């Protein structure tokens, strides 16, 4: 090889090394570092139109002064039979109206997993818990398809007026199912669609018939129900393989066709 050929080969090798070095040092493209996004929201599920999620700016409504009188929240809590040491998930916790109450019921040996998809709601919850010196609440920022719950550890998942807003109900029901202990329960609380006297927009109500269209196909069985609240259904579900006894859904006295 001539001196000129050798020099040309050296330049070519240097160019190749430089190109590879620059490629390795270059920042990754936006496509390479893009975080996975939530899938598009569903419009309907099993014949039901899905409602829009309540924005965090509406959070004061959750702690309105009239809520106890309108919904008899203390009666609901008594119905749930939460015990000291329980692990309870308040799914769709908002600013913590029920999370704080449940935290006192489970005591220092229990824990409340407070789950929401809005970081702002969790911030409001943290502030309220701190002001009331409550330390057994664990806030969890969820996605619309994953509540971020541990597998097989939950005694009770509480869903108060939130399930009808889930943009991906099937995915969330699957995740809830996986999170339950064998004797774990899901307490579904929804404004009664069958009752025109309940002063809530129809899109934010559910009938017992619709609830039973959605939960049993997802691997749940009905193990309890309570019809004593002024505005809301309370339906308790467990895993289909749970040792808890299955019951039949009782129709609401004034049930009407959807």
- For the chain, what are the domain ranges? 67-239
Return d(Cα 74, Cα 68) in angstroms, integer. Answer: 7
Contact 141, 151 (CB under 8 A): no
Specify the CATH class of 67-239 in words.
Answer: alpha beta
* Structural tokens at position 131: 């002001």
Q: Which H helix or E strand runs over 141?
A: strand 137-141
Contact 166, 50 (CB under 8 A): yes
Helix ranges (H only) for 165-204 are 169-179
Contact 188, 211 (CB under 8 A): yes
Return d(Cα 10, Cα 187) in angstroms, integer. Answer: 74
Q: Give the closest residue to 158 by CA, choosing from 87, 219, 217.
A: 87
Contact 146, 39 (CB under 8 A): no
Low-confidence ranges of the chain (pLDDT < 50): 1-35, 255-258
CA atoms within 13 A on the CB side of 230: 12
Burial environment of residue 57 by CB neighbours within 10 A (0 to 12, 13 to 18, 19 or more)? exposed
β-bridge mates for residue 188, sequence order:
159, 235
Compute CA 222 distance to the chain's CA centroid, rounded to the nearest angstrom: 20
Angstrom CA distances, 117 to 139, 147, 187, stand at: 11, 8, 19
Residue corresponding to tokens 């709601």? 121
């Amino acid at each position: 090889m001539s001196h000129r050929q050798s020099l040309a080969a050296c330049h070519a090798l240097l160019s190749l090394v430089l190109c590879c070095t620059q490629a390795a040092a270059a920042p990754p493209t936006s496509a390479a570092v893009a975080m996975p996004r939530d899938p598009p929201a569903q419009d309907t599920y099993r014949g039901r139109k899905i409602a829009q999620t309540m924005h965090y700016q509406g959070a004061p409504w959750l702690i309105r002064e009239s809520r106890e009188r309108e919904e008899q929240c203390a009666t609901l809590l008594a119905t749930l039979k939460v015990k000291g040491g329980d692990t309870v998930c308040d799914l769709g916790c908002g600013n913590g109206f029920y999370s704080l109450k449940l935290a006192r019921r489970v005591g220092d040996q229990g824990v409340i997993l407070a789950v929401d998809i809005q970081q702002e709601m969790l911030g409001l919850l943290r502030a309220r818990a701190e002001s009331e010196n409550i330390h057994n609440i664990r806030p969890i920022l969820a996605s619309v398809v994953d509540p971020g719950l541990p597998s097989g550890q939950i005694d009770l998942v509480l869903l108060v007026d939130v399930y009808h807003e889930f943009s991906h109900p099937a995915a969330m029901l699957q995740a809830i199912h996986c999170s339950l202990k064998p004797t774990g329960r899901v307490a579904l609380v929804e404004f009664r669609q069958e009752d025109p006297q309940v002063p809530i927009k129809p899109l934010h109500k559910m009938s017992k018939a619709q609830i039973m269209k959605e939960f049993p196909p997802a691997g749940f069985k009905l193990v309890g129900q309570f019809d004593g609240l002024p505005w809301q259904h309370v339906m308790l579900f467990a895993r289909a393989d749970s040792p808890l006894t299955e019951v039949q859904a009782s129709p609401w006295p004034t049930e009407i066709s959807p």
